Structure 1
Amino acid sequence: MLLINQAVRLQVDNVLVQYHIFDVNEPLMVTFPPSCQVMSQEQVDAKKQAWSFQFFTKKKMNVISFNHIGSTKNYFDSTLFAVFVKGLACDLIRFPKRIGYGSSLGGYATAFHADNLRLDKALLLMPVSTYWQPSAPWDPKLIEHFKSQQRDMSHIDASECKTPLTIIYDPLYVPDTKHKQRFVNCVASYRIPGVGHRIARALLDIGSLKETILEFRSGEIDSERFYKQARSRRSLSYFFRSLDEKHVGKISTKRLAIIYLHKFYRYKQQSIELDKIKNRLQESVCKRLDYVCCLAHGKGVLALRNAAAGSALVFC
């Protein structure tokens, strides 16, 4: 039985479960994190907060957050956790809406457990559909996972999820596009081309992440607002970084020209910044040597000053 009006932490096998229920008449968010948010047992014991837990609790929104412990190879697939999820589902029926939210590995885990949790819908950012590499040979991320797997995981596949899914992904990034295509019940999708497997980071950097999550919680994502904000992705440092290497289908000459134009422009910007740094260092060296010259007299010192200034320019 879920406790009301208090923050609760418990550990189920290798998963941290953290929840806070403010009002059972309001929607409940159920969240799973990306692999980079894995916790060590020491962090769990030190009361580190589960991924996304604070975001929702600060807004007084009902939330249950699951966080993997110990390894990025933790796929939320332990038998004990599966039993816990099925039991938890009975407590979740009382909420008017049960909404899933996950990113990358978290998208996989959300979809994998969505049906057992009886979720009404789920928002997935660049979700992985399976970690069984033979089922997704086009995803290089899975190679290392496959090498370390000590059991057959072919049956642990999130793509068959029956819960309605909304997916945000980069259509130009081959692995994420093919994962998205495997989900049989993707009812809506939003695209952010050119950012690769960085959807959550890109949404955060362009100031769209919070609005997107809250809109989805209350209903549907405002597509006009979403795509208007998505235009600013062109200002991100990692935009266009690898579009000429990882793309879907044949890349056009026009698109390739635009990519290299932006790469050149960013390189030029970086070169300008390096020139500024070089000039400041040179000015700093000259000022210090001028001070030395004021303390001493003679051509020997002046010659030393000139030589040092010249070598400083070469060094920079």
Structure 2
Amino acid sequence: MDSLLALLKKKSTGQGSFALENIKCDFFISDFDKPLLYTFAPFGEASADTISWGFEFGKNLDVNVIAISLVSNESWYQDPELYELALNLGKLANFSEILGYGGSMGGFGVSVYSNILKIDRLLLLNPFSTLDPNIIPEETRFRWYQRNLEWDSRFNDGAITCSKGVVVYDPLFKLDALQAKRFKDFKLVKLHGVGHQIPMHLNKLGLLKRLVIDFLNNGSDFAWFYKASRNRRFYPGYFAWMQSQENIHLTQRRKATITKCQHSLKKLISSKPGVDSVTGKDIDFIRDLALDNESKDLMKAKMLMEIALKLRPEGEFLKMKVSSYNKRLDGPDL
């Protein structure tokens, strides 16, 4: 901890890591005229011997990063040592802008410390605002933590943040929607039909990197996001969640439609040329459709070309195109 605080006090640059009793922190300070991005790891992403969640991603985006994770999830960021660290960082961190990023439990962590850290803007993906049953009695997840942690403490509620920002969530998932809507004056961005774990789904859909870059640049137009997210109909995870019990909007009629679409996608992906009515001409059609979308919708082009490659795994041109699309679209996994 002292090494990071010394850098900030002297306004020096450097990179390193340190561990407190239950806190792991990785930091990269390169330019005080650039933003500082705090990242807080979601539940289950912490490890004492690995790089903290979000650190490499932020570093590769050429911003200053302080990435915080928990050695044990049992505290839900309600650690006195983290509070002390946050107080010191709030006094010493002097950058062009202070930003915060977190998903799920990490969304709670970064928002509940945002006032202390003096964070200007937050990007929250399916965040928890609180587990306090007095505030959200409908919340049924993480019952042990509800019962055993002190939810009347200063770490009670991330939604009382003074920061502004963006919340991305699935409005079809009732519990996530309840949590997301508590962040007043935030821009609410909806990703329908994927449930929880929004960072993972965004990464697989190829949308995460651009979303974070837009956030860093203070972008406010999400028309591109809604257009690109329509491609989730090519994403198996979309159909899987839409059929789950978490989808309270799943009527029998909708279930039949989803099952039909899911079956068609599975058939298209798993079939081989000449089997199940998929022919070489069909593969050529999918390839050409991908090429037609290169300049209009690169994410759709990638998904279509990946389907063509699965049907024709020996295709060198298909391999080359998929690799090219990945280089243009994919960012590090967050």
Which category of TM-score, normalised to the shorter sequence, fits these structures? 0.7 to 0.9
Rounded Cα–Cα distance in structure 1 between residues aligned with 2:68 and 2:241: 33
Shift of 1:35: 0.9
Rounded Cα–Cα distance in structure 2 between residues aligned with 1:133 and 1:272: 49
Aligned to 1:81: 82
Aligned to 1:286: none
Shift of 1:158: 1.3
1:176 aligns to 2:201 (yes or no): no
Rounded Cα–Cα distance in structure 1 between residues aligned with 2:134 and 2:268: 43
Aligned to 1:220: 219
For the 8 Å contact 2:171–2:177, the answer to whether it is kept is: yes
Aligned to 1:201: 200
Structure 2 unaligned spans of 5+: 276-334
For the 8 Å contact 2:126–2:196, the answer to whether it is kept is: yes
Aligned to 1:237: 236
Task: Decide which of 5, 23, 38 is 2:46's aligned counterpart.
Answer: 38
Structure 1 unaligned spans of 5+: 277-316
CA, structure 1 residues 241+137, in 2 after alignment: closer, same or farther (shift >3 Å)? farther
Rounded Cα–Cα distance in structure 2 between residues aligned with 1:154 and 1:174: 24
For the 8 Å contact 1:50–1:66, the answer to whether it is kept is: yes
For the 8 Å contact 1:33–1:66, the answer to whether it is kept is: yes
Counterpart mapping for 1:152-163 below 5 A = 152-155=150-153, 156-163=156-163
Rounded Cα–Cα distance in structure 1 between residues aligned with 2:194 and 2:6: 39
Task: Decide which of 1, 4, 20 is 2:28's aligned counterpart.
Answer: 20
Aligned to 1:57: 59
For the 8 Å contact 1:212–1:221, the answer to whether it is kept is: no
- Of 257-266 and 81-90, the range deviating more from structure 2: 257-266
Aligned to 1:29: 37
Rounded Cα–Cα distance in structure 2 between residues aligned with 1:268 and 1:233: 17
1:115 aligns to 2:123 (yes or no): no
- Of 157-166 and 118-127, the range deviating more from structure 2: 157-166
User: Whose radius of gyration is greater, 1 or 2?
Assistant: 1
Counterpart mapping for 1:85-100 below 5 A = 85-92=86-93, 94-100=94-100
Amino acid paired to 1:66: I
Amino acid paired to 2:195: G
TM-score w.r.t. the length of structure 2 is 0.71
Identity %: 24
Aligned to 2:68: 66
Shift of 1:154: 3.6
CA, structure 1 residues 51+271, in 2 after alignment: closer, same or farther (shift >3 Å)? closer
TM-score w.r.t. the length of structure 1 is 0.75
Rounded Cα–Cα distance in structure 2 between residues aligned with 1:30 and 1:236: 30
Corresponding residue SS for 2:109 = helix
How many residues get paired?
A: 263
CA, structure 1 residues 2+57, in 2 after alignment: closer, same or farther (shift >3 Å)? farther
Amino acid paired to 1:259: I
Cα deviation, 1:24-66, whole Å, max 9, x if unaligned, reads 01111111011121114xx1xxxx2111111222343211111
Shift of 1:252: 6.3
Corresponding residue SS for 2:139 = coil
CA RMSD of aligned residues (A): 2.5
